[in-house]
Amino acid sequence: MSVLDGILEGVREDLAARQERVPLAELRARVADAAPPRDPMPAFRAPGVSIIAEVKRRSPSKGALADIPEPARLAGEYAAGGASAISVLTEGRRFGGSLEDLAAVRAAVDVPILRKDFIVTPYQLWEARAYGADLALLMVVSLDDGLLAELLGLATELGLTALVEVHTGEELERAARVGAELIGVNARDLTTLEVDRSVFAELAPRIPAGAVKVAESGVAGPRDVAEYHAWGADVVLVGEALVRSGDPRTSVRDFLATANANANTNSPA
């Protein structure tokens, strides 16, 4: 069993328990009363690089990362630093997140929010909207073609922007076939947890024209964000480096300033 298989097994067990507690009809009613979702794409398509800053307590690869008693406060610091969106881990067993974290962040910031989880059923997309998400992560590696298309279609119906994540060329082809417009390349292989940042450099030129390119994982500091941007990233998702920084507001500003300054320096006159 791969690392991903083990994670998905726990995700499905926890999902079954939530479905027993909260019927789909209840989620639908909450979504009907919810405010319209925010559209992250204009910011992601704007000149320069954008940052998705992540609320992340721990990970399978690194263990405990940061004590985050108030995710809303951390999200507020990210937004004040210039993050274009906030990613909130909602998986509990391996990442220490929850849907309550998502709701708390939604109440605290006005920027778009990504539900970062292992989404394998339509129920989880209804959850995402019910708890205030504007974006949802769809990982190609954990979905067959039929389910990927179904979930992408439902996300669109709900007003959610789908961040469709890939790690290989074959996964990228599958994402392109279903018409993904926001494509993330994860430098981390979720079956082994190994990180290779060059995966983004390899796949970015193959992302369809018009799609927004997101670089995920492998960021230790501003230079890594700048390098991803130089390789074609419109957006960089950053978690560990920010939660461990001690000053998330300034760190987001530094990441943006370094990447955009390098881009301006290297642009033709």
Known catalytic residues are 54, 56, 116, 165, 186, 216-217
CA–CA gap between residue 47 and residue 49 (Å, rounded): 7
CA–CA gap between residue 2 and residue 40 (Å, rounded): 33
Neighbours of 187 (CB within 10 A): 21
- What letter does residue 36 receive in the DSSP assignment? P
CA–CA gap between residue 114 and residue 182 (Å, rounded): 12
Q: Which residues contact 171 (CB under 8 A, 6 or more apart)?
A: 140, 141
CA–CA gap between residue 160 and residue 254 (Å, rounded): 29
- What letter does residue 244 receive in the DSSP assignment? T
CA–CA gap between residue 23 and residue 123 (Å, rounded): 9
Spatial CA neighbour of 237 closest among 56, 41, 52, 44? 52
CA–CA gap between residue 133 and residue 160 (Å, rounded): 7
- State phi, psi for 20 to the nearest 5 degrees: -70, -35
